[in-house]
Copies of this chain bind each other. A is one copy, B any other.
Amino acid sequence: MHLTVSEENYIKAIFHLQEADGTVSTNQLAANIHTKPASVTDMLKKLTSKRLLLYKPYQGVRLSSEGRKLALEIVRKHRLWESFLVDKLQFGWDEVHEVAEELEHISSKKLVDKLDQFLGNPRFDPHGDPIPDSNGVMLSLRQVNLLDLKPHTKAEVCSVGSQSPELLELLKHKQILIGTRLEVQCKFEFDHSLEIQLEGRGNITISQQLAQALFVKTI
């Protein structure tokens, strides 16, 4: 099944929008994709005829199982390319989205799987979003950067942003591991440091650099 870039962008947009509501409206899609509702209706008909959507006129749309499978392939490519740009080409995590928006449409399956392997089969992209594996299986939880947690949020450490010996030394010293539970107490504007409480232990201070290297899931 070959899809055009436009068709793929619609499929991916529906995938993300239906995460929230289950079903997606024509106007929602038009806003998301920066197009007009009339154009959306045209494309919904076309993708429905390709059996990628479950679409009831006036009632909204969602992906068929085949549509969902294709969406996951596109999301996989998007997030793997973002990881490549940040980890290998030293892009900042805030400047990769637009380029990945183009790269996600490169069609070679072999390329994607080799890229995945080259990157060490990462499970999360630079924004903490999970990367589907080559079978389209994706963890549902979202990793969040510790730096982005609001005070009084409880969370559990689930991965680290790098494997540098310096980082591991510091984590060892502070006795923080994958699975450690914590609660953010307060954040300081001056140096962007955080005070956190480690579950069962006391309060400690985390520098901006360290917080940025820790990914957590809220609990």
Which residues of the other chain, B, contact A114 by a CB distance below 8 angstroms?
Answer: 89-91
Cβ of A13 within 8 Å of any chain B Cβ, yes or no, is no
Which residues of the other chain, B, contact A108 by a CB distance below 8 angstroms?
Answer: 98-99, 102
A65 to chain B minimum Cβ distance, whole angstroms, is: 27
Which residues of the other chain, B, contact A103 by a CB distance below 8 angstroms?
Answer: 106
Of B90, B91, B102, which is within 8 A of A106 by CB? B102
A82 to chain B minimum Cβ distance, whole angstroms, is: 12
Within 8 A of B (CB), among A59-103: 85, 88-91, 98-99, 102-103
Cβ of A32 within 8 Å of any chain B Cβ, yes or no, is no
Count of identical protomers in the assembly: 2
Q: Interface 1/0s, chain A 177-210, versus B by CB < 8 A? A: 0000000000000000000000000000000000
Expressed in whole angstroms, the Cα–Cα distance for A138 and B25 within the complex equals 52
A110 to chain B minimum Cβ distance, whole angstroms, is: 8
Q: Smallest CB-CB separation from A103: which chain B residue?
A: B106
| Residues in A lying within 8 Å of B, measured CB to CB | 85, 88-91, 98-99, 102-103, 106-108, 110-111, 114-115, 118
What are 11 A-B contacts defined by CB distance under 8 Å? A85-B111, A89-B114, A89-B115, A89-B118, A90-B114, A98-B108, A99-B108, A99-B111, A102-B106, A102-B107, A102-B108
